[in-house]
Homo-oligomer: A and B are copies of this chain.
Amino acid sequence: MKSKLISKLEAVINYRFNDKSLLVLALTHRSMGKNNNERLEFLGDSIVNLVIAEALFNKFPRAVEGQLSRLRSQIVSGSNLAKLGNSFNLSKYIILGVSELKSGGCFRESIISDTVEAIIGAIYLDSNIEECKLRILEWTQNKIDTLTIADSDIKDPKTKLQEHLQKLQQPLPIYTIHKITGDLHNQTFTISCQISLINKEITANGSSKRKAEQKAAKLALKEIEQQTATGKINPPPAT
Contact = CB atoms under 8 A, between A and B. Distances in A.
Most buried by B among A41, A47, A50: A50
Number of copies: 2
A225 interface: no
Nearest to A61: B39
A64 B33 CA distance: 12
A65 B39 contact: yes
Interface string A43-58: 1011101100110010
Given A172-B177, A174-B176, A53 B63 contact: no
Contact of A69 (B42, B53, B176, B177): B42
Nearest to A166: B180
A41 to B, nearest CB: 6
Contacts of A41: 65
A98 to B, nearest CB: 21
Interface of A: 38-39, 41-43, 45-47, 49-50, 53-54, 57, 63-65, 68-69, 129, 172, 174, 176-177, 180
12 contacts: A38-B65, A39-B57, A39-B65, A42-B65, A43-B54, A45-B53, A46-B46, A46-B53, A46-B54, A49-B49, A172-B180, A174-B177
